[in-house]
Structure 1
Amino acid sequence: MRTLLVSPQQRGAYTTIGDALAAVTDDSVIAVAPGTYAEAIYLTGKRVRLVSAEPRSTVTLDASMLPHPTVSVRDGALALEGFVLRAGDAPVISARHTRLSLASCELSAGFGPGVDLAGGSIEMRKCTVTGAQYGIVVEDAPGTIDGCQIDDVAEDGIIVRIGADPVITGTVVRGCGRRGIYVYQFGKPTIEGCEVAQTGDAGIVVAHQSTPAIRRCWVHDTQGVGVSFARGCAGAVEECRIENTGVPALDIADGATPTVITARPDAPPLTIGDASPSAGGDAEAVEQLLAELDSMVGLAGVKDEVRALIDEIQVNEWRRSAGLAVGGMSHHLVFAGAPGTGKTTVARVYGKLLAALGVLPKGAFKEVSRRDLVGQYLGHTAEKTSAAFEEARGGVLFIDEAYTLSRSMGSGGDFGQESIDTLVKLMEDHRHEIAVIAAGYTGEMDEFISANPGLASRFTKTIVFENYSPEELVRIVRRMCAEDDYVLGGQVEAALLRHFAAIERDANFGNARDARKLFESVRKAQAQRLRVLGRRPSLDELRTLELADVEAVVGVS
């Protein structure tokens, strides 16, 4: 199997995905470096797999300024894993007589389908489609659509037609302008464990001699009827919940003959999505990440707060998979506390936890500060803020010293306020696609939340990071030593404890940052001491930080 690398910065690599595709042979793998590629790609008669060159990194293929589909493929096989795909007024993916496989991809379009496939087969797992004309169109093809989400499309969420018979499981279709799922022209899909909600017309429509099997689905909050079968259609509706829809909830026309099986009163809860024991995410990954959190020094209150959040998210996912009602829950947080208390590290773990639970599509983490969000003229700030937000979508946007956005930093317009106003709107428009964490000193974060009335409703939870105790700071230094293959000599820990106990906890106190600075200074003092020995130090001498090294930095106490 041949692998080709695409990286504009790496010598010897292909600079564009199109260049690599021109050179591929069948069953090649194209590994793409993280970044945004402003191009549309075309593939005919070949079998190719495209992946990110760096796991959990973001590769964006942006054809939003072009009149063509972002991906056009014919008479071949194409697999895409972990890509962000954007189109303008054209389909995101147009496939003809192709074996198409998509995993963990995000698709968006100004107008046109997210996926338009005719002939061949389709396999989509854990993908999202937003802002398109239609979400997924499958014509004359089998396949699988599993664990996907289709939001805010202009017309129909999923269209199955001309004899197509895909299996659609665990998929959520919300906010469609017309129908959630439209089956017509002899379509015969299996639709199982799916949720269809908030549609401008009916939830699921079956027409033109189609015969779908609709099992254990939840259709609710639709302006039209919940499920409808037109004359000449058959199939089955089994153990589905249809709530708060137009009348009638289940509309079967004269001459339609579907089998309808209602759930028994003593039946187990309806399953929406993955009914396996792993519903609600990767349990093993969640436990590993919680163990990583527990291994951090101190932060007992923070750990309890994060665990409580994760417990609630986990149970909500289990309830959702069982078809039970789930209240709205914001994943945006305020981290309040002094510098060096582990806010950034905890935010990274939190993002990975949300990804492991399946709440966010990625564990990506983007850290920004005022200079990354605020521009120099009116309108520039909205562009910078939107760009940073877009990069973080699917993961965590961590805003360090967020309170600086609510302060005027010089003469001219208050562009920090423009950034806040932009963030408030983006957080509402994409509330299920990102976790925004605003961090800073406790008092100043109150000032930040007051800067826009919408912030308080977006950030409903504040986690306070206390200063580390002297004993915890000693443990942090000890851990730094172990990581860099050093040990502390006799009386060193006692000296460090006295030093940290004497430090004033004022606004300049850096907590773990101060511990890191001290460790680096003690290492330098050890190097200076060993350098003048007049001989090569032994292994123990090279590894051991002595009391004299600490005293050289902090003085004798």
Structure 2
Amino acid sequence: MARTYTVSPTQPGAYPTIRDALEVAADDSVISIAPGEYLEALHVGGRRLKLVAAGDPGSVTIDARGFGQPAVSVSGGQVGLEGLTLRAGDTAALSAHGSRLSVRQCTADSGYGAAVAVTGGTELTAFEVKVTGGQFGFVIEDATGTIDKCEVSNITDDAVIVRLGADPVIRNSTIAGCGFRGVYVYQGGRPTIERCDISGAGDVGISVASQSSATITGCWVHDTQGVGVMFGRGTGGLVEECRIENTAQPGIHVDEGAQPVIREASEDHQPKVGAAAVESAAVQDTAKVDKLLAELDSMIGLAGVKDEVRALIDEIQVNEWRRQAGLAVGGASHHLIFTGAPGTGKTTVARIYGQLLQALGVLPNGQFKEVARRDLVGQYIGHTAEKATSVFQEALGGVLFIDEAYTLSRSGGSSADFGQEAIDTLVKLMEDHRDQVAVIVAGYTVEMQTFLDANSGLASRFAKTLEFENYSPNELVLIVNRIARNDDYLLASGLDDALREWFGQIQRGQNFGNAREARKLLESMRKAQSGRLRGLGSMPTRDDLRTLVLDDLLVATR
């Protein structure tokens, strides 16, 4: 497990400077930096470390303007930076050579030099990085990596330079305001530039020169003093589905001897570009998604429900990939209807579903709020709308689970009007906050249809109905075994067959409790075992205490 070293000039027991923590930190550790300004110039060589702001992004500033060195320089090793503001004077604010460097939600600026300079085979991952000043923004030299959802502005010269065979992927990023070129590719550079917004350049938007090649797709190049895209002699590449607007003419200039492929954008396809276009893109925790799906799969039975949930999750993941690719994504409702008898796992699946939505970045959190009629319906006219709205707002960001939802639409007495008022209020709130909450209503299959008929717009608010079928006798036996095992009990040989026979012959009316029946039966068997062991007249063995036998079942079902 990674160790965390705390840096704070005021906290007792913490390291007063980042340099102090760096000197003692072991590999694979995290240096957590308290909010504030640190006048330091840091060098990290051959280490595996993360430097993380303990507060919000931007709450920690490393200012090296008085040192004539980068705020952070990295040589070799694997370093991660998160939430930091890096400042330097006449050198790069952040430099790396021969390293693996991950930079997330950081800000960098330099007086005269590159804000971020990576060289010598460095692999850079930059996500949501803002470059706010410098002679150059990013300089990628003999390096690779990904620049995603970044912003570069207020640059004196070229905003992004790619040279000496560097082949980064620059996507979903915004370059606005530079004295010379937006992106300059030369000396064999081979970048891929996707869905970027490039504007306000003092010369060319994207310039490809000296034996270089660039793949430029889905970009918007506009409002530049020079042409939008220029290919010099001996260069190649691809320009596809790009918008070139309000630039010098021609929008795309190709010198004699250059051989790029130019594919004009169709008029009806205008891809979303720049950092702002993917501002709402979800950050997905794929490891957590896999863990939750494994938890769902471990539930007994419910094959159809599991398939439906997986299909919903697959659709959410693909939609997010489409959004990141700049493709259109239709609005999707995450509200669901769960129908079926009690004790079939509806509440458990609802909890897992909420956590899945959180892990996929669809909802801010996976909180789960379970309510019933009494929580939504007031006691006098006007009280219900207020009560239902309050409950709904408490559930924002997670799942609102309404059990036995059909009771809201039951007729009889003055309270029926209040139930209808709750339904009408929920219909409006579900539409107004469709991206902020998942509402799941649950109940018996037939009664839930009556509930949906109570408001003409109610059924359309839900994406899908999931039917939870009764457990088979075999599945109920498995449930008994699982509950027993979790409570440190064992079933004697032959007891499984007896349980299967019992579950196969009992009546299954509408109120049959499924897993609840299995738990109730097991509780009765435990009580029967207690009476049996008390009657032994001697201290039972450990195996006796753990084992349930056929006689316990016979007593429990007598």
Regarding TM over 0.5, the answer is yes
1:9 maps to none
Task: Verify the 8 A CA contact 1:116 1:137 in the aligned structure 2.
Answer: yes
1:74 maps to 61
2:87 maps to which of 92, 97, 112? 97
Distance 2:451 2:289 in 1: 32
Distance 1:259 1:401 in 2: 67
Closer, same or farther in 2 for the Cα pair 1:531/1:399, shift >3 Å?
same
In the alignment, structure 1 residue 367 sits paired with structure 2 residue 369: yes
- The unaligned stretches of length 5 or more in structure 1 are 6-16, 33-40, 52-60, 62-68, 82-92, 106-114, 128-134, 149-156, 174-180, 197-202, 220-225, 244-248, 274-278
1:251 maps to 245
Aligned-partner residue type, residue 248 of structure 2: D
Closer, same or farther in 2 for the Cα pair 1:250/1:314, shift >3 Å?
same
In the alignment, structure 1 residue 546 sits paired with structure 2 residue 549: yes
Deviations 1:108-133 (A, max 9, x none): xxxxxxx9765566999777xxxxxx
2:178 maps to which of 162, 166, 185? 185
Distance 1:322 1:551 in 2: 63
Alpha-carbon shift at residue 355 of structure 1 (Å): 6.0
Alpha-carbon shift at residue 264 of structure 1 (Å): 7.0
Alpha-carbon shift at residue 160 of structure 1 (Å): 3.0
Alpha-carbon shift at residue 389 of structure 1 (Å): 1.0
Distance 2:551 2:225 in 1: 91
Closer, same or farther in 2 for the Cα pair 1:379/1:398, shift >3 Å?
closer
Alpha-carbon shift at residue 415 of structure 1 (Å): 4.4
Alpha-carbon shift at residue 488 of structure 1 (Å): 0.9
2:155 maps to 162
1:231 maps to 225
What does 1:306-325 align with in structure 2 at a 5 Å threshold? 306-313=309-316
Give 1 or 2 for the bigger CA radius of gyration. 2
Task: Verify the 8 A CA contact 1:26 1:46 in the aligned structure 2.
Answer: no
Alpha-carbon shift at residue 335 of structure 1 (Å): 2.0
What SS does the aligned partner of 1:227 have?
A: strand
Distance 1:412 1:324 in 2: 44
Distance 1:509 1:234 in 2: 70
TM-score, length of structure 2 as denominator length: 0.60
1:490 maps to 493
Distance 1:524 1:231 in 2: 86
Deviations 1:88-107 (A, max 9, x none): xxxxx99573989886x9xx
Aligned-partner residue type, residue 245 of structure 2: D
Closer, same or farther in 2 for the Cα pair 1:50/1:252, shift >3 Å?
closer
1:535 maps to 538
1:38 maps to none
What does 1:9-24 align with in structure 2 at a 5 Å threshold? none
Aligned-partner residue type, residue 87 of structure 2: H
Alpha-carbon shift at residue 551 of structure 1 (Å): 2.6
1:88 maps to none
What SS does the aligned partner of 1:250 have?
A: strand
What SS does the aligned partner of 1:75 have?
A: strand
In the alignment, structure 1 residue 499 sits paired with structure 2 residue 506: no
Question: What root-mean-square deviation, in Å, do the aligned CA atoms of Structure 1 and Structure 2 show?
Answer: 5.3
Alpha-carbon shift at residue 544 of structure 1 (Å): 1.1
Distance 2:552 2:230 in 1: 78
Larger mean CA deviation between 335-344 and 493-502 belongs to 493-502
Aligned-partner residue type, residue 202 of structure 2: H
Alpha-carbon shift at residue 424 of structure 1 (Å): 1.9
Q: Which has the higher strand share?
A: 2
Closer, same or farther in 2 for the Cα pair 1:314/1:254, shift >3 Å?
closer
2:431 maps to which of 424, 435, 442? 424
Closer, same or farther in 2 for the Cα pair 1:453/1:410, shift >3 Å?
closer
Aligned-partner residue type, residue 429 of structure 2: T
Distance 1:158 1:297 in 2: 49
What SS does the aligned partner of 1:516 have?
A: helix
What SS does the aligned partner of 2:544 have?
A: helix
- The unaligned stretches of length 5 or more in structure 2 are 22-29, 41-50, 64-70, 73-79, 95-101, 118-123, 140-144, 162-167, 185-190, 208-213, 232-236, 255-259, 265-270, 275-281
What SS does the aligned partner of 1:336 have?
A: strand
Task: Verify the 8 A CA contact 2:302 2:469 in the aligned structure 1.
Answer: yes
Distance 2:148 2:534 in 1: 61
Task: Verify the 8 A CA contact 1:366 1:398 in the aligned structure 2.
Answer: yes
Task: Verify the 8 A CA contact 2:404 2:441 in the aligned structure 1.
Answer: yes
2:241 maps to 242
Alpha-carbon shift at residue 523 of structure 1 (Å): 2.7
Closer, same or farther in 2 for the Cα pair 1:165/1:182, shift >3 Å?
closer
Task: Verify the 8 A CA contact 2:427 2:461 in the aligned structure 1.
Answer: no
In the alignment, structure 1 residue 525 sits paired with structure 2 residue 525: no
1:110 maps to none
Task: Verify the 8 A CA contact 2:227 2:253 in the aligned structure 1.
Answer: no
Task: Verify the 8 A CA contact 2:204 2:225 in the aligned structure 1.
Answer: no
Deviations 1:126-176 (A, max 9, x none): 77xxxxxxx97744454998665xxxxxxxx956332554988554x9xxx
TM-score, length of structure 1 as denominator length: 0.60
